Amino acid sequence: MHDRLDDCVEKFRLIICINVLEHILDDRLFLDLILRNLLPGGLLIIGVTGREDRWYLEDDLVGHLRRYSKNRLQTLIEEQTNSETEVWSIGYPLMSIGQRVKNILLKKQASQFSALSKEAQTQTSGIRSVPLLPIWSILGYVSNFAVKLLFSPIQRLFYNSNAGIQLVAFA
């Protein structure tokens, strides 16, 4: 993947990198390669798994190498960009509860994927089946609706906290 980024000759006003850094061994180098392709004054949006203090079974199964704290993500980006970075903590409280339920459901698949290398886990993370997928899909739809209707105003109260299961940085 680094080879392809290094060969990119185009420059962009906006680069969005969601759920990637936690899979990359050298996140500093990867971020440096991304930034080489960002135009001066451009916007970088990065989303990562948050809460270093919460390592779930899913993290192992999908090949995560790390989770990030707000401070760690902000420092990583600011050291590379020399610009102010805003980091939001998102997914609280609903995603935090959902993650715990998903972790219970994933225990059935743990033995199947735990023997894979981190690279293989990453490559299969978006295509493997989730137990009780129809139910999970319906719950996802309902929770998405609930978040938009009920929890969005509440969640905004936690943007500056460390409570969210995901982090989104803007630089």
Distance CA 25, CA 42 (A): 25
- Least confident window among 5-14, 132-141, 147-156: 132-141
Task: Tell me if 130 sits within 8 A of 99, measured CB to CB.
Answer: no
- The lowest-confidence range among 41-50, 75-84, 121-130 is 121-130
Q: What is the pTM of this model?
A: 0.71
